[in-house]
Amino acid sequence: MRSAGILLHPTSLPSSRLDGEAYRFVDWLAAAGQRWWQVLPLGPTGEGRSPYTSPSAFAGSPALLADPSAPVSAREERAFRRREGAWADDWAQYAGDGALADQVRFEREWQALRAYARARGISILGDLPIYVARGGADHVAHPELFAEGEVAGAPPDPFSDVGQLWGNPLYDWRANRAEGYRWWIERARRVLSLVDAARIDHFRGFVSYWAVPAGARTAKDGRWRRGPGEELFRAVRRELGDLPLVAEDLGVITPAVERLRDRLGLSGMVVLQFGFAGGARNPHRPENHRRHAVVYTGTHDHDTALGWWRSLSEEARHATGLPGVDPAWELCELALGSRARTAILPAQDVLGLGSEARMNTPGKPSGNWRWRLERGRLDDAPARRLRAATEAAGRAAGPVS
């Protein structure tokens, strides 16, 4: 089934909380004929307000709570601790007094919102980051699962001659294998209890990953190391069944990465901002899109469609074949018209916003993750426009009674 959705993290709602604004956004998605709401990781944010440096791979963010002082009984806490025993005690010990009560509140609010969305035909596409934060609850509670002497990063590429130094702890895959990938099984269980499907970040790292010597000032002197490959996913599937995952297969992608994605039957990603250069075999070119894929105009790590267009030379604009009268919307329509099964549009692109609305600039140490939607900006007019385009592309959800 062809479908479409909108990328908008809850922190980008006008209130940044799971309050009435979140419910109004769900109503807007239904009115606009959308089937998916894509969010980023839902955990407490870490350094630089990033949801990808969370101190927990399991906990929900108390900052999202609409009612952070709602009463929580001792009985509710005990039930939550029993239900989430794989991680709840670790988090409580790390985060201190009130941590479990906040998780009970998060569970209430998030699952109520999710049920409201489901009743209106909206599914949630979440996010499973590959790495955890150094010194976070998972790193502290399970040091045996992590390697020493090297940290995570990305190799030099045309955008950076020194690569990207992320600094996250890397996994000791032998130790993870020895315990039957139990921590990963519980992590996948938790994520898929909160969302209907999940984008698995940095998928290529499960085939091979860039390891940088601890203490290095750049990622330039790292080296590739082999990941766990299919073995990890087989272990998770044996316990949890089929995994509704989208492989974030962007970056330095090798045939081995594509083979693993395809053996697992996962959708990959294509990004239209990458689709107008790079030669005839570029997988992001619209004519090369796979049906079993998710197409984006851009992601949370890219400029908005309008910002991207404004950065292009006249020659590059001409090469896109777009009229350029309303470039953000033209790119949205191109995504909706793709043969890819699912199309996801950032809310900023539906609204035609410029670079001031960009969510994140990789490698930029500050000023990220701050954009918020202006209250009332997603009103009836963009909903009608998006529904018409989504219907024309054969992706629209039917009306919900």
pLDDT tens profile 44-63: 998 889 999 999 999 999 99
When pLDDT is cut at 50, 70 and 90, the band that residue 278 belongs to is confident
Is residue 397 helix, strand or coil?
A: coil
DSSP string, 181-222: THHHHHHHHHHHHH-SEEEETTGGGGTEEEEEETT-SSSTT-
Q: And the tokens for 378?
A: 């997603």
Task: Give the integer Cα–Cα distance in Å for 319 and 322.
Answer: 8
**Is 309 within a domain?**
yes
Distance CA 401, CA 399 (A): 6
Return the bridge partners of 226, or none.
208
Q: In sequence order, which residues have a C-beta less than 8 Å from that of residue 206 and are 6 or more positions away?
A: 130, 227, 228, 229, 232, 233, 260
DSSP calls for 246-276: EE---SS--HHHHHHHHHTT-BEEEEGGGTT
Q: What are phi and psi of 305, to 5 degrees?
A: -60, -40
Q: How many CA atoms lie within 13 A of 141 on its CB side?
A: 20
How many alpha carbons lie under 13 Å from residue 185 in its C-beta half-sphere? 16
How many residues are there in the chain?
401
In a domain, 103, yes or no: no
Query: Does 220 have pLDDT greater than 90?
Result: yes
Containing structural domain, residue 29: 3-56+123-392
Work out how many domains the chain is built from and give that number: 1
Contacts for 70-75 with beta carbons within 8 Å, 24 or more apart?
A: 70/105, 70/108, 72/101, 72/104, 72/105
Indicate whether 79 belongs to any domain. Answer: no
Residue 120 confidence (pLDDT) above 60: yes
Burial class (CB in 10 A: 0-12, 13-18, 19+), 301: middle
Confidence of residue 399 (pLDDT cuts 50, 70, 90): low
Say if 111 falls within a structural domain.
no
Q: Which residue has the higher pLDDT, 162 or 137?
A: 137
Q: Is 157 a catalytic residue?
A: no
Tell me, what's the pLDDT at 48?
Answer: 87
- Catalytic pick from 201, 258, 326, 391? 201
Candidates 19, 90, 109, 248; catalytic one: 248
**Residue 332 domain-assigned (yes or no):** yes
Q: What's the CATH code of the domain at 9?
A: 3.20.20.80
pLDDT band (50, 70, 90) for residue 401:
very low
Mean pLDDT of 171-191: 98
Of 260 and 157, the structure prediction assigns the larger pLDDT to 260
E-strand ranges in 77-207 read 123-128, 146-154, 164-171, 197-200
Active-site residue (options: 27, 301, 326, 391): 301
Paired tokens of 11: 């922190």
Q: What are phi and psi of 351, to 5 degrees?
A: -90, -5
Residue whose C-alpha is closest to residue 204's, from 257, 243, 258, 256: 257
pLDDT for residue 398: 67
* 326 in active site: no
Give the span between the Cα atoms of 130 and 168, in whole angstroms. 10
| Alpha carbon distance, N-terminus to C-terminus of the chain | 21
Q: What's residue 210's pLDDT?
A: 97
- Domain membership flag for residue 282: yes
Q: 């479409």: which residue's tokens?
A: 4
CA dist 294 to 2, 79, 289, Å? 10, 38, 9
Examine the pLDDT at 77 and tell me if it is beyond 70.
yes
In a domain, 96, yes or no: no
Rounded Cα–Cα distance for residues 27 and 21 (Å) = 10
pLDDT in tens, 293-327: 999 999 999 999 999 999 999 999 999 999 999 99
- Token representation of residue 12: 């980008």
CA dihedral defined by 63, 69, 75, 81, rounded to 10 degrees?
10
Share of the chain above pLDDT 70, in %: 99
pLDDT tens track for 354-396: 999 999 998 787 899 999 999 999 999 999 999 999 999 999 9
Helix (H, G, I), strand (E, B) or coil at 128: strand
pLDDT at 159 over 80: no
326/114 Cα distance (integer angstroms):
34
What confidence score (pLDDT) does residue 140 get? Answer: 98
**CA-to-CA distance for 30 and 398, rounded, in angstroms?**
8
Q: Which two tokens stand for residue 57?
A: 């791979």
Is 262 catalytic? The answer is no
Average per-residue pLDDT in the chain? 96
CA separation for the pair 397, 71 (Å, rounded): 38
Would 86 be classed as within a structural domain?
no
* pLDDT surpasses 60 at 258: yes
